[in-house]
């Protein structure tokens, strides 16, 4: 049984649920973090400052690195619990990328944070209807 954990820094309940499931079912845990293809504040208009583009690029690289470090810490923590764990950080559209990873990894289950009004990254229900496995939504701690 493969469990894919779609998480962000604020979604510890998702990680906890995914690790419990993986441990209880002696499953492999695959952690996936999807970054958008472009930084939200990346300049796209012609004539914008090159300095702004460089600053944005530098901040984006730092964000990318911090996310990868967090992902590795989560993976190391699960591995220390005896759970076979691997992880991947990719760029792409969240729903499409999750679906592709689930297919590529032949996942049995995807664990995601519950999409609500406060969630920054909404996963399109139309995309999730194409997921080739079960999906478990975990509500964030209130």
Per-residue confidence (pLDDT) for residue 129, from 0 to 100: 76
Per-residue confidence (pLDDT) for residue 121, from 0 to 100: 53
What distance in Å separates the CA atoms of residue 54 and residue 114, rounded to the nearest whole number?
35
Per-residue confidence (pLDDT) for residue 94, from 0 to 100: 82
What distance in Å separates the CA atoms of residue 99 and residue 103, rounded to the nearest whole number?
6
Predicted TM-score (pTM) of the model is 0.74
Element (H, E) at 111: strand 109-113
Each residue's pLDDT expressed in tens, for the chain with a length of 142 residues: 444 555 554 447 888 899 999 999 999 999 998 887 766 555 555 555 555 555 567 777 888 888 899 899 999 999 999 999 999 999 888 888 888 999 999 999 988 876 654 445 556 665 667 888 888 888 766 5
């Amino acid at each position: 049984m493969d469990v894919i954990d779609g998480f962000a820094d604020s979604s510890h309940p998702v990680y906890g649920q995914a690790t419990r499931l993986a441990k209880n079912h002696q499953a492999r845990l695959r952690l996936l973090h999807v970054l958008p293809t472009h930084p939200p504040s990346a300049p796209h208009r012609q004539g914008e400052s090159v300095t702004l583009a460089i600053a944005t690029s530098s901040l984006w690289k730092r964000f990318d690195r911090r996310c990868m470090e967090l992902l590795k810490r989560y993976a190391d923590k699960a591995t220390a619990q005896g759970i076979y764990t691997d992880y991947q950080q990719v760029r792409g559209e969240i729903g499409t990328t999750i679906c592709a990873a689930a297919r590529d990894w032949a996942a049995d289950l995807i664990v995601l944070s519950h999409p609500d009004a406060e969630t920054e990254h909404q996963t399109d229900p139309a995309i999730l209807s194409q997921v080739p496995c079960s999906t478990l939504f975990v509500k964030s701690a209130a």
